[in-house]
Amino acid sequence: MAEFSINKGIGASVEFKGLKAQYLFIFAAGLLTLFVLFVILYMTGIDQWFCIGFGVVSASALVWGTFALNRKYGAHGLMKLGAARNRPRYLLHRKSLPSIIRHKKLKKKDENEEFS
């Protein structure tokens, strides 16, 4: 009888070398951007050693920054931080929806009586 291994990672977030979820995509996109920038700098005729130094320093900063964000915020913390910034600081209407509608109807009725 054949033995099959069971995949127990179903539903788990993507992880590579400790980078989780969106940080993996930030890391990959950053490295791709740095490579394209390196090629553009080299093609424009800038000194080879400057291009290599720029690439190494930038890639090191990207790796350090991505792992620092991953360590600080975790798998979903960066998205939660962005969502918290888009949330209003206070609510404008603390009344229930029926009371707001009733208030608008009364206000409209009062305006109609003024012009009569």
In a domain, 96, yes or no: no
Contact 74, 20 (CB under 8 A): yes
pTM for the whole thing?
A: 0.60
Provide the domain limits for residue 33. 15-89
Q: What is the mean pLDDT of residues 93-103?
A: 70
Q: What is the pLDDT of residue 57?
A: 96
53 pLDDT tier (thresholds 50, 70, 90): very high
In a domain, 23, yes or no: yes
d(CA 41, CA 52): 10
Q: Of 63-72, 76-85, 94-103, which range is least confident?
A: 94-103
In a domain, 109, yes or no: no
d(CA 55, CA 18): 23
Q: What is the mean pLDDT of residues 92-116?
A: 66
- pLDDT at residue 20 above 90? no
In a domain, 76, yes or no: yes
Number of domain units in the chain = 1
In a domain, 8, yes or no: no
For the chain, the average pLDDT equals 81
In a domain, 1, yes or no: no
d(CA 43, CA 51): 10
In a domain, 79, yes or no: yes
Q: What is the mean pLDDT of residues 34-39?
A: 95
Reading the block at residue 72, the tokens are 């600080």
In a domain, 94, yes or no: no
Contact 43, 4 (CB under 8 A): no
